């Protein structure tokens, strides 16, 4: 895959959660190619180390950190380690996420709480730790949340996911206001469906829940409203993550950007 790097992140340090897989992993590769040092933070410690090792093999500075974004002390320690080993923290991409689909009437309370914890507690804890560091260092920085078209729109079977992704927009707006005095910007990226393990798992689950074929889940549910019938790509999302990380002023702070091949237009 070729990487068209237009913006630079030289001498910047990025902490990216959920970066052992899918979207986070590609953002880590694109940031590294743009010159950043990377902390690959993920629940899966072996995956985090493997992704960091691949970045180091390509010439980047990178460390892998096993961390659960819902663990307050763990998140604080992971950010501390990043600052100690990579020399600071300039960009947070709060990207770790899970998906659980079920009709509302069958949704287990435990699953509701689990999903909100990863997306919202995880968003808060990683942002707070990064924000504190960005203030203390007086370097400012960029805090980027991985939202979704589901930050704007609803779909069947996704009550907690849609709720959490809408919530991240509120958190980003507060950080944009509180962060301005400290040079901290906050943004949300809102992708359409991207072929990652998170989406591949949903296809058979939705087929079963909606009683349709897997091909119809892709065509008639996931890509139905796109302008070109195409999945959003890892690079589509990573290039927007690069834009938000590298943008030099507060002009875009507090904004979310939908990256969905026209599924949702605002
Ligand atoms: P993925 O399953 O490929 O990767 C998610 C990563 O998050 C995994 O490596 C996993 O180990 C990690 N993770 C899960 N729980 C964690 C926790 N508690 N602490 C730390 N790490 C944890 O998924 P993806 O598709 O790359 O999704 C990344 C983000 O993008 C998620 O927030 C997801 O909601 C969002 N998103 C995905 C799509 C899509 O279509 N794939 C669309 C819109 C938004």
Give the pLDDT confidence of 15-29 residue by residue, as tens digits: 999 999 999 999 999
- What's the 194 CA to ligand 1 centre distance in angstroms? 11
- What's the 21 CA to ligand 1 centre distance in angstroms? 7
- For ligand 1, atom 7, the nearest C-alpha belongs to 18
Average pLDDT for 23-45: 98
- What's the 218 CA to ligand 1 centre distance in angstroms? 19
Determine the residue of 198, 226, 258 to mutate for testing ligand 1's pocket, defined as the one with the most ligand atoms within 8 A of the Cβ atom: 198
Ligand 1 pocket, residues with Cβ under 6 angstroms? 17-18, 20-24, 42-44, 47, 67-70, 95-98, 118, 122, 146, 148, 191, 193-194, 196-199
Atom of ligand 1 nearest to the CA of 69: 19
pLDDT of residue 107: 98
pLDDT in tens, 119-136: 999 999 999 999 999 999
Q: Which domains are present in the chain?
A: 13-192+233-259 (3.40.50.720)
pLDDT band at 3 (very low <50, low <70, confident <90, very high): low
Known catalytic residues are: 161
- For ligand 1, atom 35, the nearest C-alpha belongs to 146
pLDDT in tens, 235-251: 999 999 999 999 999 99
**Least confident span in 53-57, 139-143, 218-222:** 218-222
pLDDT band at 170 (very low <50, low <70, confident <90, very high): very high
Closest CA to 27 of 239, 244, 261: 239
For residue 1, pLDDT over 60 is answered with no
pLDDT in tens, 47-102: 999 999 999 999 999 999 999 999 999 999 999 999 999 999 999 999 999 999 99
pLDDT of residue 5: 54
């Amino acid at each position: 895959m070729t990487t068209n790097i237009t913006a630079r992140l030289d001498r910047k340090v990025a902490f990216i959660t959920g970066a052992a897989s899918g979207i986070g992993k590609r953002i880590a590769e694109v940031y590294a190619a743009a010159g950043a040092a990377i902390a690959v933070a993920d629940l899966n410690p072996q995956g985090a180390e493997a992704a960091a090792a691949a970045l180091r093999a390509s010439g980047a500075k990178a460390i892998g950190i096993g961390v659960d974004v819902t663990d307050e002390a763990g998140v604080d320690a992971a950010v501390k380690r990043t600052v100690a080993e990579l020399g600071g923290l300039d960009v947070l991409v709060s990207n770790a996420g899970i998906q659980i689909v079920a009709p509302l009437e069958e949704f287990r309370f435990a699953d509701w709480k689990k999903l909100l914890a990863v997306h919202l507690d995880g968003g808060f804890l990683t942002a707070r730790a990064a924000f504190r560091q960005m203030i203390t260092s007086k370097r400012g920085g960029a805090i980027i949340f991985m939202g979704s078209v589901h930050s704007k729109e609803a779909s069947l079977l996704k009550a907690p996911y849609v709720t959490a992704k809408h919530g991240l927009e509120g958190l980003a707006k507060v950080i944009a206001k509180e962060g301005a005095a400290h040079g901290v910007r906050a943004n949300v990226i809102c992708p359409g469906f991207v072929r990652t393990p998170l989406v591949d798992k949903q296809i058979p689950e939705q087929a079963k829940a909606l009683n349709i074929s897997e091909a119809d889940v892709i065509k008639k549910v996931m890509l139905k409203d796109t302008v070109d019938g195409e999945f959003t790509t890892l690079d589509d999302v990573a290039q927007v993550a690069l834009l938000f990380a590298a943008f030099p002023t507060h002009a875009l702070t507090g904004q979310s950007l939908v990256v969905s091949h026209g599924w949702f237009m605002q």
